[in-house]
Amino acid sequence: MGGLLGSWTCASSASAGTAPAAWPIPVESDFLISPFKFRDGSSLAHLRIHYRTLGHLRTDSKGNAVNAILILHGTTGAGDNFLNDNFAGVLFGRGQLLDASKYFIILPDSIGHGHSSKPSDGLHMKFPHYDYDDMVEAEYRLVTSGLHVNHLRLVTGVSMGGMHTWVWSETFPDFMDALMPLASLPVQIAGRNRMSRKMIMDAVKNDPTWHGGEYTQEPKQGLTSAAYNLLWMGSAPYYWQQLCPTRDSADAFLDEKVQTILSYTDANDLIYQVDSSRNYDPSDKLVKITKPLFAVNSADDEINPPDLQIMEQKIKEVKNGRYILIPTSDKTRGHGTHSLPALWQQYLEELMRLSAS
């Protein structure tokens, strides 16, 4: 299980060249991996990974990085999703938990997302069919070869980024001090979650204007159906009822959200983004995780509903693992609670303290 749309529930991002006084202006750049070979045997001569960093890297007397933090975004999102008052304004400011004057914060755009290489760059459906392992490998190459970071103080992420955190924990188990996957589950995408993803992909592919990915205009009918699914899965029933207590307000809210999704979504990119979870399944390698790990979900998350009781069972296999379930309240936002650190930063503070050397 995991998450869709790790971005639209957040506040709007700060523009690339400016930032409030609460946190430093990020430095943006691209890292090229030439060539990059994907797990399925396909390759790109040049894979572009876009990223942002805040703060400066510090090393100890042996040259080991001591303050680098990797934060990973959700499906359809990008690294700049975290640059808003609700996230950066709570964590990255001076004196705050992940104070960017003390930490070196890395915010990449994963393969197929943001300003990184993606199908809409020109290859369309001929773009390599990347999966989460490919995405994590590219993130690792960025961190190590691109930014010369040989150790991470923390790996954390939301939704898809939470699932990437599980993959990091098993693939590079000694590379970090602590892990906090948010809004995710460490098992294969199946059940309603997989069905919803297939509905999204099928909606786009069944649009007669899609033309196998060689469309001249975005297939609006298919993307609208896909947007309905994305919104439904990321919904927060209690919050939405308070926000839209009348029929007219509910209709207006839905129309606005659908139009927002349509304004930034490319059909081929969306198919790849949603399908990239197809091979995800860390469930049989959880015993490899040795570093402290806090898995944080919210009770009103429609993508990772707690009544499935999956996390309660799987967290037992994680040697230093702990499961935290945030109860539904007027402050939670369903799946989007992952991007409201005001609701979970006390657990992150405990994890950082517990994992300090």
What are the DSSP calls for 155-185, one per residue?
EEEETHHHHHHHHHHHHSTTSBS-EEEES--
| Under 8 Å between Cβ of 102 and 67 | yes
Does 214 lie in the same domain as 152?
no
**pLDDT value of residue 11:** 33
Look at strands 293-298 and 321-326 and give their pairing.
parallel
Percent of the chain with pLDDT over 70: 94
Q: Let me know if residue 3 belongs to a domain.
A: no
Q: Let me know if residue 20 belongs to a domain.
A: no
The pLDDT mean for the chain works out to: 93
In CATH, what number is assigned to the domain containing residue 242?
1.10.1740.110
Does 94 lie in the same domain as 81?
yes
**pLDDT value of residue 21:** 54
Tell me the Cα Rg of the chain.
Answer: 19
In CATH, what number is assigned to the domain containing residue 143?
3.40.50.1820
Q: Is the predicted pLDDT of residue 4 greater than 50, yes or no?
A: no
Angle at which helices 191-205 and 267-275 pack, to 10 degrees?
160
Residue type, 32: L
| Under 8 Å between Cβ of 5 and 159 | yes
pLDDT tens, 44-68?
999 999 999 999 999 999 999 999 9
Number of Cβ atoms within 10 Å of the Cβ of 95: 7
pLDDT tens, 293-333?
999 999 999 999 999 999 999 999 999 999 999 999 999 99
Does 86 lie in the same domain as 37?
yes
Where do we find the tokens 């970071």?
A: 149
Q: Let me know if residue 125 belongs to a domain.
A: yes
Burial class (CB in 10 A: 0-12, 13-18, 19+), 82: buried
Handedness of CA 76, 277, 183, 68 (dihedral sign): negative
Does 221 lie in the same domain as 76?
no
Q: Which domain holds residue 236?
A: 192-275
Domain count, the chain: 2
Does 139 lie in the same domain as 60?
yes
Percent of the chain with pLDDT over 90: 94
